[in-house]
Structure 1
């Protein structure tokens, strides 16, 4: 993979770049946020690793600007701040992962490889369809057989994730990550409760169910289940 590393501490930058190169990756290094923004939006990178505190512009502003310009490359933030609010701020700025300093290089490498294995983002769809179920992402309207379905924001997001993966099983862990942005199991029935509510709205009033429970695995949307 080709990786862009934006880190202003020379020792840290050299340490990471050497490790990534030894792991078989191509690593370009920069130390300034403005230079990093230009490279992120003009270069062809598989993963970007960016420090939050950078000269020029900070890492959060860098990623926000790059996302606004249409950059879709996965980003891992490196930071010395570890509070929950700081992690949330990084993710909301457009980051895909967050690693607190000091860190083990093996963990960074594992996270880089994991992001690099993600399928490339597809062109943005504005309307999703599964059988007679339709979701308009622009108007945030959901209908089935022409009838409007009123969904709460979390139910809408849950249905969107399922519709984008039509015919494939989505596990409980995947739903926690993609719908609730939880990377741990809260040991509650939040997923099951929302699935039940969603099923009551998109399936029960209609003749054929679309939302399937795959025993001991997860859930999927499928026509003719």
Structure 2
């Protein structure tokens, strides 16, 4: 699970990132332009978004995200507590609205609720693709009743592909999602891991389900 946290108060931003990092991979931004750029990569399972941020405010960031057709769940986390602001945030496409100051346990619970509603939360759930099951809690993979041994990155790669089956994922999206923006590897690692993942799936007959879209990226067939 990968989150984007947007907050211009740097000490608070660092505190939120630290709080969430025990459950999620977390990217961060402290202004609207960076937030919009990161959100447009469409690699996050949810966004925690402040309203009063420099350059582009949170409401505008959300509007641009929704204009592009992105359905990433957005939780507003802001000091603006008026009814008008709450209504505006939700009417513009926000999914939840939490007012500062907040309790850490409530923030995490609301994020988990967003992820459950969107179908992204797999930490304690099983997701399926044909005869493959990803057991989120144990991070095990079962194919046609047999266990598949995958590395952590191979698991995350397969999970991302299943969550987006039928959609073309660019190499950049896959790289940013699985390895992160701060990784010291190169984008060529995507091809290497995709090759190894196909090899792991081949004995079970699923390797051909991962299609290479020449010059773009990859797509996992619809079930």
* Range class of TM-score, shorter chain: 0.5 to 0.7
Query: How far 1:176 moved relative to its partner?
Result: 1.0
Report the equivalent of 1:167. Answer: 166
TM-score (norm 2): 0.53
Query: How far 1:182 moved relative to its partner?
Result: 2.5
Query: How far 1:127 moved relative to its partner?
Result: 1.1
Report the equivalent of 1:24. Answer: none
Distance of 1:205 and 1:174 partners within structure 2: 27
Query: How far 1:215 moved relative to its partner?
Result: 1.9
Report the equivalent of 1:205. Answer: 203
Distance of 2:131 and 2:168 partners within structure 1: 20
Q: Pairwise mapping of residues 103-122 of structure 1 onto structure 2 (< 5 A)?
A: 105=55, 117-120=70-73, 121=115, 122=118
Cα distance change of structure 1 residues 195 and 223 upon mapping to structure 2, 3 Å threshold: same
* SS of equivalent residue, structure 1 residue 154: helix
Is the aligned partner of 1:136 residue 2:139? no
Cα distance change of structure 1 residues 114 and 200 upon mapping to structure 2, 3 Å threshold: farther
Report the equivalent of 1:148. Answer: 147
Distance of 2:62 and 2:222 partners within structure 1: 36
Higher RCO (CA-CA < 8 Å; seq separation 6+): 2
* SS of equivalent residue, structure 1 residue 198: helix
* Backbone CA RMSD of aligned residues: 3.9
Gap runs ≥5 in structure 1: 1-46, 79-93, 98-102
Report the equivalent of 2:30. Answer: 77
Report the equivalent of 1:61. Answer: 15
Distance of 2:18 and 2:71 partners within structure 1: 21
Cα distance change of structure 1 residues 51 and 112 upon mapping to structure 2, 3 Å threshold: farther
Distance of 1:139 and 1:207 partners within structure 2: 23
Whether contact under 8 Å (1:214, 1:220) holds in the other structure is yes
Report the equivalent of 2:194. Answer: 195
Cα distance change of structure 1 residues 193 and 114 upon mapping to structure 2, 3 Å threshold: farther
Report the equivalent of 2:175. Answer: 176
Query: How far 1:112 moved relative to its partner?
Result: 6.3
Whether contact under 8 Å (2:134, 2:142) holds in the other structure is yes
Say which one has the larger Rg. 1
Figure out how many residues of one structure are paired with residues of the other and give that number.
148
Cα distance change of structure 1 residues 115 and 51 upon mapping to structure 2, 3 Å threshold: farther
TM-score (norm 1): 0.52
Query: How far 1:147 moved relative to its partner?
Result: 1.1
